[in-house]
Amino acid sequence: MRIGIVGGTGDIGEGMALRLSTRYDVIIGSREEEKAKTASTTCRLRLDELGKVCSLSGVSNQRAVDEADIVVLALPYKHLVPTIASLTGFEGKIVVSPVNPMEFGETVSYVPPPEGSAGLLLKKLLPESARIVVAFNNIAAHRWQTIGEDLDYSVAVCSDDDEAKRIVMDLINTISHLSALDAGPLKNAALVESLTPLILNISKYNRMKDVGVYFR
Amino acid sequence: MRIGIVGGTGDIGEGMALRLSTRYDVIIGSREEEKAKTASTTCRLRLDELGKVCSLSGVSNQRAVDEADIVVLALPYKHLVPTIASLTGFEGKIVVSPVNPMEFGETVSYVPPPEGSAGLLLKKLLPESARIVVAFNNIAAHRWQTIGEDLDYSVAVCSDDDEAKRIVMDLINTISHLSALDAGPLKNAALVESLTPLILNISKYNRMKDVGVYFR
């Protein structure tokens, strides 16, 4: 299975590449292909040091879409609309959105677009055959990066495409000790996305680091 | 410390009375005083059987407000506005809202009022000196009731009144193994309230019972 990470040179993208490339073929995408190649090399060196074999390459965002079975949009919310507008070829692809529309002020707020969530906005932006799955929204970027440590969080997943949802849930369950949970249709994306500002606020007001969520 | 539970004859109210009355003076309120007295007697008998001593009485909702230091609004969202309109005397009281505005359809949705959350709606409805604290939103009613079992969830708490928030957090930390977490100002109430429909959806789609949340 080939996983393309659009925005793969950001914190979360690079962390996901580290965790996923020892098991799957990972293509790191970037607006600038050179940056993606550098990120790919950095990741490979870190994994080499740990004696881990990986499958990683750095390409343009467009090639990350074109060559992948699963496309992960590892983008800050503010880059979502322009990035999608600059890319083609999402037809029939599984498109994973860990994107959270948030505003950072005195406190962290959930500020969704008029569609109700980033997930539902994507439904408007992408071709109808794109198989949108909202997942990985609530995992701290820093925890993706600390590959020496296990990840054992619950990962809530929403989609209107049951098969795509099952494929992404199975993928999640192969990453460290993450545990995928079905959170229903794409309509529920706001419930999953808005958990991230809550986690960031809890982190801030209780001086906790890299807070994660568990449903049990 | 006297805790008045408005709507104390509902599932959550009665469960809270069971858990709180062995440590605090609890006044169960109801629109019909007779129902509150019956609920009080039922709770007392259950605690007696377990060899636990409690302080419990059943009164009208109005007396539950008048005689309490902390008033808990254990109400379904649809009863919130009419119940508040029928009561007086909230001035200077700590008012705890575990209320979640939700709609139950094919899936469970968060449907807040125009103010943004039940917590912010209460700010409009109650006198300015009322000390609103949003807490206990995410604990399954059934788990309150099973007093033989520990509760060990995280409990996110929002308020604009730091002292009231601290009092309620200290109270939470005395109940079984609950762990209070500061979730910031009242503005963040929607983030805490909307976690409940997510929990209910996760429960439904993964066939899990009495799902709770942990932040770690």
Q: Write out chain A residues lying below 8 Å of B177, CB-based.
A: none
The predicted pLDDT at position B141 comes to 87
Domain annotation covers residue B213: no
Reported confidence tier of residue A123, pLDDT bands at 50, 70, 90: very high
> Is a pLDDT exceeding 90 seen at residue B211?
yes
Stated length of chain A: 216
ipTM beyond cut 0.90:
yes
Minimal-distance CA residue of chain A relative to B102: A191
Mean pLDDT, residues B67-89: 98
**Phi, psi at B26, each rounded to 5°:** -115, 130
Q: Write out chain B residues lying below 8 Å of A181, CB-based.
A: 202, 205-206
> Is a pLDDT exceeding 90 seen at residue B205?
yes
The predicted pLDDT at position B89 comes to 98
Q: How many whole angstroms separate alpha carbon A171 and alpha carbon A82?
A: 28
Residue B66 vs residue B141, higher pLDDT:
B66
The residues on B that touch A, with CB distances below 8 Å, are 106-107, 109-110, 156, 181-185, 187-188, 190-192, 194-195, 197-199, 201-202, 204-206, 208, 211-216
CATH number, domain containing residue B87: 3.40.50.720
Q: Give me the domain span that covers residue B50.
A: 2-205
Question: Which of A138, A137, A143 is CA-nearest to residue B215?
Answer: A138
Helices (H), B50-194: 61-66, 80-85, 118-125, 141-145, 162-173, 189-193
> Is a pLDDT exceeding 90 seen at residue A202?
yes
- Token look-up 């979640």 returns B100
Domain annotation covers residue A28: yes
Structural domain count of chain B: 1
Domain annotation covers residue B37: yes
Render pLDDT for B140-149 as a digit per residue (tens, 0 to 9). Answer: 989 999 998 9
Render pLDDT for A132-149 as a digit per residue (tens, 0 to 9). Answer: 999 999 999 899 999 989
**Phi, psi at A101, each rounded to 5°:** -75, 110
Domain annotation covers residue A214: no
Domain annotation covers residue B211: no
Structure tokens at A23: 């098991």
Domain annotation covers residue B18: yes
DSSP string computed for A60-110 = EHHHHHHT-SEEEE---GGGHHHHHHT----TT-EEEE----EEESSSEEE
Q: Write out chain A residues lying below 8 Å of B188, CB-based.
A: 107, 109, 197-198, 201
Determine whether the interchain pair A191/B110 forms a contact, defined as Cβ–Cβ distance below 8 Å.
Answer: yes
Domain annotation covers residue A211: no
Render pLDDT for A157-180 as a digit per residue (tens, 0 to 9). Answer: 999 999 999 999 999 999 999 999
